[in-house]
Amino acid sequence: MTRVPRIAVIGGGLGGAAAALALHRRGYEVAVYEKAAELSEIGAGLNLSPNALKAFRYLGIEDEALKTGFQAAEQLIRSFRSGRVIARPRRSGDIAARYGASFLTMHRADLLSLLIAQLPDSVFHLGADCTGAETRGRTAVAHFADGTSVDADVVIGADGIHSAVRDSIFGHIEPRFTGCICWRGLVPGEALPDPAFARQMVAWWGPHGHIVHYPVRSGGSLVNFVAHRDSDGWTEESWTHESDRSELMETYARWNPDLLGLIEASDKYYKWALYDRDPLDRWTRGRVTLLGDSAHPMLPYLGQGACMAVEDGCVLAEAISCPPGDLDAALGEYERVRMPRTTRAQLGSRVRARQNHLASPFARFRRDVKMAWRSRRGADSSAGQAAEFYDYDVAREGRFGTGPGSR
């Protein structure tokens, strides 16, 4: 009798937890090794497009996600100072009909909790700081900072943008600073200067920057904002560095007063520098592979990083399942199916970055007219390249026909 493969996932973020759930549902013996002492996510929001919701369906968490997150009817794209509405791409109704699932905004911690709740506690090993992984014959070995090692049939590096697993199998890749920094914050519903912000998903486009805000919980009890700005005044790629309110207020002093009222109502601000990395040409060495940001870190402008990480986990579980037993072929198949898609998302996010931050008034005018025209025709004007991503369904793609729940 063949034994059930043992899979070690390094990193208990959104990608690692989704992969663990998909593999667990497929009946594999899975263990997650997370560096942090507890499983938690930073206080921030996520846009989750229909392709992510279809992956949630595959994982059996779509209904819970829809109850927890926020579903906006439309997104308003506004001009940075006047607030004039440039376009109103739909986010519900026809988008769900067109792509087979809804569009959701959600708190990262809520999504992680939903994923973890489906797994036995014994899956998670906390405080496990992985230093690298290697293949010995048909065994993958993960090494940890405390000198211990773990053997598995496959090690999956889901350890994020600064992946130790990636560095150990492909060497360190120096990222490029994009010249863009971001601030983020959360505002409770009762502190919103305009109650309408509790129901709206908005992107404000201005010269050299843009700001997005949207509710992250059903009922609009918490609103997330992210402010992007072209600047080389800060170069730390960390999600946990606190910043001053005054810095934001000075940077965006010429922007719309209602928007500034929203930003001012947050009691904590974080800032980080955005770095870019070229797509890798391989994710797998021997029995060690990568997923999520460790495999394909992308700029946030298409809102696809977490969506792709969750998709990766589902597709990898499917690849390992069919045909059962040939793990080397399965890892090759996973890479073949996923890499073209995630590469398009990485490169598409770069293009979107340039469009969002146009400085010339003429170029902005041309962009805005084009957006408004597409919006009026019912095209998904905010998404542009993103629309091509929404159609994807992890349960349908390639030769993968059924979800784990159907077994």
Ligand X SMILES: Cc1cc2nc3c(=O)[nH]c(=O)nc-3n(C[C@H](O)[C@H](O)[C@H](O)COP(=O)(O)OP(=O)(O)OC[C@H]3O[C@@H](n4cnc5c(N)ncnc54)[C@H](O)[C@@H]3O)c2cc1C
As annotated, the active-site residues are 214
Of 15, 89, 348, 403, which lies in the binding site for ligand X, with binding defined by CB under 6 A?
15
Instruction: Indicate the residue type of 384.
Output: G
Q: Does 346 bind ligand X (CB under 6 A)?
A: no
Residue with smaller CB distance to ligand X, 3 or 236: 236
Interface region with ligand X, contact rule CB under 6 A, candidates 75-83, 156-164, 315-323, 356-364: 156-164
Residues 383 and 47: beta-carbon distance below 8 Å: no
Of 300, 348, 403, 404, which lies in the binding site for ligand X, with binding defined by CB under 6 A?
300
Only one residue has tokens 């549902």, namely: 25
Q: Does 13 bind ligand X (CB under 6 A)?
A: yes
* Residue from 290, 282, 309, 288 nearest 298 by CA: 309
Only one residue has tokens 């904002």, namely: 225
Q: Does 75 bind ligand X (CB under 6 A)?
A: no
Smallest gap from residue 139 Cβ to ligand X (A) = 19
Q: What does 19-66 look like in DSSP terms, one character per residue? A: HHHHHHHTT-EEEEEESSSS----S-EEEE-HHHHHHHHHHT-HHHHH
**Torsion angle of alpha carbons 369, 374, 377, 382, nearest 10°?**
-120
Binding mask 41-60 vs ligand X (x if CB under 6 A, - otherwise)?
A: -----xx-------------
Find the DSSP H helices in 60-160: 62-68, 94-99, 108-117
Residue with smaller CB distance to ligand X, 44 or 96: 44
Of 16, 69, 206, 215, which lies in the binding site for ligand X, with binding defined by CB under 6 A?
16
Per-residue CA distances from 75 to 50, 197, 204, 348, 380 (Å): 15, 12, 11, 20, 10
Residue with smaller CB distance to ligand X, 87 or 306: 306
Interface region with ligand X, contact rule CB under 6 A, candidates 5-13, 80-88, 256-264, 374-382: 5-13
Only one residue has tokens 């041309």, namely: 366
Judged by DSSP in three states, 214 sits in: strand
* Residue from 57, 72, 152, 140 nearest 106 by CA: 72
Q: Does 140 bind ligand X (CB under 6 A)?
A: no
Q: Does 12 bind ligand X (CB under 6 A)?
A: yes
Smallest gap from residue 162 Cβ to ligand X (A) = 6
Smallest gap from residue 296 Cβ to ligand X (A) = 9
Smallest gap from residue 145 Cβ to ligand X (A) = 8
- Subset of 208-237 contacting ligand X (CB under 6 A): 226
Of 305, 384, 403, 404, which lies in the binding site for ligand X, with binding defined by CB under 6 A?
305
Smallest gap from residue 161 Cβ to ligand X (A) = 6
Instruction: Indicate the residue type of 107.
Output: H
* Residue from 266, 327, 382 nearest 8 by CA: 327
Q: Does 304 bind ligand X (CB under 6 A)?
A: yes
Of 5, 11, 348, 404, which lies in the binding site for ligand X, with binding defined by CB under 6 A?
11
Q: Does 313 bind ligand X (CB under 6 A)?
A: no
Smallest gap from residue 34 Cβ to ligand X (A) = 5
Query: Which segments within 122-281 are labelled E, that is strand?
Result: 124-126, 130-136, 139-144, 149-152, 154-157, 176-188, 201-206, 209-215, 222-230, 242-243, 269-276
Residue 143: CA count within 13 A, CB half-sphere? 13
Residue with smaller CB distance to ligand X, 127 or 378: 127
Q: Does 158 bind ligand X (CB under 6 A)?
A: yes
No. of H helices and E strands in the chain?
Answer: 12, 18
Neighbours of 133 (CB within 10 A): 30
Of 22, 76, 182, 353, which lies in the binding site for ligand X, with binding defined by CB under 6 A?
182
- Subset of 115-134 contacting ligand X (CB under 6 A): 128-130
Q: Does 14 bind ligand X (CB under 6 A)?
A: yes
Residue with smaller CB distance to ligand X, 292 or 348: 292
Neighbours of 271 (CB within 10 A): 22
Query: How far, in Å, CA of 396 to CA of 324, rounded?
Result: 19
Smallest gap from residue 407 Cβ to ligand X (A) = 25
The residues that touch ligand X, with contacts defined as CB under 6 A, are 10-16, 33-36, 46-47, 128-130, 158-161, 164, 182, 226, 292-293, 300, 303-307, 309
